[in-house]
Structure 1
Amino acid sequence: MNEPQPDPARTPGPDQAAGPNQMPGPYLAPGPYAGGTAWPAGPPQPLPQPPPHPAAQPQWSYPGPYPGPYAQPYAWGPPPRTRWDVPPPPGTRYDRLARTPLHRWWRPILGTAAIIVAFLALSIAVGLVAFVVSLVTGVPMVRTGTRLFADPVLDLGFQLGVIALLLPLVLGAAWLFQRRPPGSLSSVALRLRWRWLGACLLVALVSVVLGQAVEAGTLMSAGVDPGFRWAGWEQFLPAVIVILLLVPFQSAAEEYAYRGWIIQGFGAYLRNPWPAILVGAAAFAASHGYTGWGIAYVFAFGMLMGWLAVRTGGLEAPIALHATNNIVAFGVVAASGDMGSAMEQGEVPWEALIGSAVQFAVFGIGVLIIARKWAIQTLSR
C-alpha cells in the first residue's frame, strides 16, 4: 500500500514555523498576517471609523419621555395657558396679600366702587323680592325704619341675608378686579383654615360666655335689667333656626369686607397695617346704629379683629368671635321672645363694656397662646 506523500506546496518551510493561530497551507492571504505571523490574542478590535459628516449630526433635541436625539415628535403646540389670578409672592403678610405682581394703583379703588354699586343694586333687588314674598304669604311689610316685615323672624332672616350678600361680592371683586385668588382674603394659606377656625370657635365660646356673665353681673349690680327671660320653645325655635343658619354667613361677610377687603386694600399701598386696621374699625362702627358707649364698643371690637387678622395671618379668629358673639346675642333676644328688637341698635350702658373687655381679653390671649403653640402660619408661602 502506498503511503500518501506530503505535498511540498503544503509543507511549511524551515523559515515558516506553524504558530498556534496559523493554519498551514496555501490559504495564507498576503498581508501583515501572512507568512506565519500570529493573530493577536483576545477578541478582535474594531477598526477605526472616520468621523461622521457634520451634516449628519442632530442640530437640536427636545426633552421628553422619548429616547433618542428627538425626544418629542413635534416642536410646536398650543401655548401654555396664562393664569388669570396670580398669587402673592412668598413671605407676604396678611395685610399685604393684595399686592401681587399684577397690582396696579387703580385695582383696589375700582374693586371697592364695584362692591358698593353691586351691593346697592342687590339691596334694591332684595326689596323687590320682599314685596313679592309679602304678596304671596300675606305678611305685611313695614315701610318705616330699617325693618322690612312686620313678622320679626322673617324680617331678621331678610336683614341677615342682605348682609351676607357682601361675601360673594368681596370674593368676586378680589378675583375679577385685583386678579388674585379669592382665598387670599381668607388667610395667608390662600384658603380658610378649618382646623384653626374650630380652635378659635372654642376659645370664642368660652370668652363670650364669660363676658356675658360678667356683663350680667355688672348690670344687675348697677340696677339695670340684663334682659334674660324665657318665652317658651314655640317662640324660640323658629328664631334660633334662622339665627344658626344665617348669622355665620352674616358675620363672615362683615369680616371679609371690613377686615379682609379694607385692610388688604390699604395694605396694597402701605407697609404699616395700623392705618388700615383703624380705617376698617371706623367703617365697621359707622355701619352700625349704636350711639354713645355703643360706638366705643363696636370700634374696639373692630380694632381687635383687625389686629388678630394680621397677627394670625387670616380671618379665622375674627369670624369665630364675631359669629359666636352674634349667635349668643341674638339667642338671648330670641329666648326672651322680643325678636322685634333684635336688629335695634342704640345706647349701650357703660357697665356693659366691662363684660366686653373681659370677652376681648380672654379671646385675644387665648388665640395668641394657641397660635404660638400650633405655629400658625402668618406669612404666605
Structure 2
Amino acid sequence: MTTTHSITEPYQPPDVPFQRTATPPPQPLPYHRLALTTGNHRWWRPLVGTGVVLAGAILVMLAVIIASEIAGAVVGRPRDADGNVIWGGIGDTALALLGISLSIPVVLLAARWVQRRAAGTVSSVAGGLRWRRLGLCLAVALPVSATSLGISMLLPEPEGSGPELTWAGLSPFLLGLATVCLLVPFQAAAEEYVFRGWLLQAVGAWCRSPWVAVTPQAVLFAAAHGWGTPWGFADLVVFGLITGALTIRTGGLEAAIALHVLNNLLPLGILSAIAGGLESEETAADMNWMTLAVDVPMVSLYAAAVLWLTHRRPVSFRSGN
C-alpha cells in the first residue's frame, strides 16, 4: 500500500516578468545646481568641461582669424605693420563680435557631451531660453540702459579721451549700426552663457550656496575684460554679482542677457554714427569713478525692477516646477 504524504510549502508570489523598481522623480533644483539633473554627474566633469569650453572658445576665435586672413588675401586687403589684415573699424568690430558669439555652441556642446545633460539646462530651469521672459526683461532694461548712457554722456571726460565727434556719414553709419544690431545680441548672450551660465553651474555642481557659485564667475568676468582702471574692474564685478544673483533668482539667463545686450548695443550704436567710433578699443574696464557711480545704481535699479516683475508675474526658479 502506497502512502502519499502532502508537503506544505510556504506561499511565494508568482514571478512577474520584466518587473522593475520605479525610479523616483528627480528633485527640483535651483539654476546653479542644474549640472546635477542627471545621474551622470562626477566631480571631474565641471573641470573637464571648463577646459573644453576654454579650448573651444580659443579654437573658434582662431578659426575666425584664419578665415579673415584668407579672405583678406583673396580680396587684396591692406595689412598693418604686424602683417594683420585691416578691415577697418566696422569689419574688425564684426570679427571680434563674431568670434565671441561662437562660444554659445561651445558651451551647449560641453554641457551635452561632457556633463551628459540637456544643453538647454544652461539656458534656464525650463530646459531652454524662455523668450517671453526675455522680452519682458528687454522692456525693463531699455529705459534703464538708456538713462544710464544718457547720464554718462553728460559727465565730464578727461581731455583727449574718446573719439572725435565727427559724423561718420550715412552709409558707414547704417552699415555699422546693422553690424552691431546683428551681432551684439549674440556676443552679449555668449558672455552670459560662459560666465553666468557655464561657470556659475560648474561651481554650483560642487557647492550648494548660491553666493559661492556667483562670486568666482563675477571676478573672472571682470578679469576677462582686461585691466583698465580699479573703477572699471569694480563695476564689472558688481555687474557679474548682480546678474548672477538674478540668474539664480529667476531660474535662467534671460534677465542677464537682456541687460547685457542693451548695455552693449546702445553705446555701440552711437559710436557707429561717429567717424572712427568703432575703432575705439576702450571698454567698460576703462571707466572712471563718475561712470561707476552712475552705472552701479542703475544696474541695481534694473535688478529691483526684474525682481518686482518676478513677484507680480511669478516664474519658476527650480527645475521641474
Q: Same fold (TM over 0.5)?
A: yes
Sequence identity percentage: 37
**Aligned Cα root-mean-square deviation (Å):** 2.5
1:104 matched to 2:42: yes
Structure showing greater relative contact order (alpha-carbon pairs closer than 8 Å, 6 or more residues apart):
2
Q: 1:305 aligns with which of 212, 235, 243?
A: 243
- Residue 372 of structure 1: CA displacement? 0.8
CA distance in 2 between counterparts of 1:373 and 1:305 reads: 20
Residue of structure 2 in register with 1:116 after alignment:
54
Amino acid in the other structure paired with 2:293: I
Alignment correspondent of 2:289: 350
Provide closer, same or farther for how the CA distance between residues 365 and 142 of structure 1 changes in structure 2, counting only shifts above 3 A: farther
Mapped contact 1:251–1:322 kept (Cα < 8 A):
yes
Provide the residue aligned with 2:4 in structure 1. Answer: none
Q: Give the match's secondary structure for 1:98.
A: helix
Match of 1:380 in 2: 319
Cα separation, partners in 2 of 1:361 and 1:179, compared to 1, 3 Å: same
> What is the CA–CA distance in structure 1 between the aligned matches of 2:175 and 2:236, rounded to whole Å?
28
Shift of 1:196: 0.5
1:278 maps to which of 212, 215, 218: 215
**Which amino acid in the other structure matches residue 302 of structure 1?**
G
> Where does residue 302 of structure 2 map in the other structure?
363
Q: In the TM superposition, what is the alpha-carbon distance from 1:61 to its structure 2 partner?
A: 9.5
Task: Give the counterpart letter for 1:183 in structure 2.
Answer: G
CA contact (8 A) 1:215 1:354 kept: no
- Partner SS, residue 273 of structure 2: helix
Evaluate the alpha carbon distance shift between residue 316 and residue 148 of structure 1 in structure 2; reply closer, same or farther with a 3 A threshold: farther
- Distance in 1, matches of 2:96 and 2:161, equals 27
Aligned counterparts of 1:231 and 1:118: Cα–Cα separation in 2:
36
Give the aligned partner of residue 252 of structure 1: 189
2:118 to 156, 178, 181: 181
TM-score by length of 2: 0.85
User: 2-side partners of 1:125 and 1:217: how far apart?
Assistant: 40
CA distance in 1, matches of 2:161, 2:47: 46
Deviations 1:107-140 (A, max 9, x none): 1111111122222222222222111111122222
Say if 1:213 and 1:355, in contact at 8 Å, map to a contact too.
no
Whether the aligned pair in 1 keeps the contact of 2:238 and 2:296 (CA below 8 Å) is no
* Cα separation, partners in 2 of 1:148 and 1:308, compared to 1, 3 Å: farther
SS of 1:171's equivalent in the other structure is helix
Residue 140 of structure 1, aligned match among 72, 78, 81: 78
Which position in structure 1 is the counterpart of 2:11?
none
Deviates more, 1:181-190 or 1:345-354: 345-354
- The residue correspondences of 1:58-207 to structure 2 (distance < 5 A) are 89-100=26-37, 101-142=39-80, 149-207=86-144
Taking the aligned partners of 1:193 and 1:206, their CA distance within structure 2 comes to 21
Q: Which residue of 2 aligns with 1:5?
A: none
1:150 shift after superposition: 4.2
In 2, Cα distance between the equivalents of 1:90 and 1:189? 14
Contact preservation (8 Å) 1:94, 1:187? yes
Q: Deviations over 1:141-179 (max 9, x none)?
A: 44659x863411111111111101110000000001111
Q: Structure 2: which 5+ residue stretches go unaligned? A: 1-13, 19-24
Structure 2 residue 171 is matched with structure 1 residue 234: yes
Q: Is the 8 Å Cα contact of residues 110 and 177 (structure 1) preserved in structure 2?
A: yes
Once residues 55 and 211 of structure 2 are traced to their aligned partners in structure 1, the CA distance between those partners, rounded to angstroms, is: 27
Please name the residue that 1:315 is paired with: 253
Contact 2:196 2:253 in 1 (8 A): yes
Q: Is the 8 A contact 1:219 1:352 kept in 2?
A: no
